[in-house]
Amino acid sequence: MYTPSNPNHKMSHYKRTLIIVSMMIAVMVLLSACGQKNESNPPQSGVTETGVAPADGTEQLMIKATNYAFDQKEYHVKKGQPVQIVFESVQGNHGVMIPALNVDLDSQNTTATVTPQEAGQFDIACSIMCGSGHSTMVAKLIVDEA
């Protein structure tokens, strides 16, 4: 109970209130991260919705992200053939990383061209903490024999 003769009690109440308010703000920021649509930096690659490959014959792989999901569970490319990976965050603030190919894309860096040298299945994950569904935002890159 607060009494004028016990100023420590008032300070303790203030600290507790400050901690609770800070935690509530942190939770709101985390939960709203995926709800923000990022239209300020559209992809600068010249890629259209038609998925037309670049003129030099390089294959093109389009990866789109929405809240807690990529547009496909699996993406296929061919071993030994250059592929331009184009990333678009359609809904929310996301990124994409493919550690096996050293690819890390986001709204500022939307394209990467790589030539997979090994066939197999490789992990794709969201590289930006985007909220409660972040850990389930995964897919597979399948590199097929040419």
pLDDT in tens, 19-65: 877 777 766 655 555 444 444 333 333 333 334 445 566 789 999 98
Structure tokens at 104: 């890390």
pLDDT in tens, 81-109: 999 999 998 888 888 999 999 999 998 99
Q: What confidence score (pLDDT) does residue 31 get?
A: 53
pLDDT at 117 over 70: yes
Distance CA 120, CA 100 (A): 10
Distance CA 137, CA 20 (A): 30
Residues whose CB falls within 8 Å of the CB of residue 17, separated by 6 or more in sequence, listed in order:
none
Distance CA 94, CA 128 (A): 5
Q: What confidence score (pLDDT) does residue 44 get?
A: 34
Instruction: State which amino acid sits at residue 76.
Output: H
Helical ranges in the chain per DSSP H = 7-32
Strand duo 83-89 + 59-66: pairing: parallel
Q: What confidence score (pLDDT) does residue 40 get?
A: 39
Distance CA 102, CA 22 (A): 36
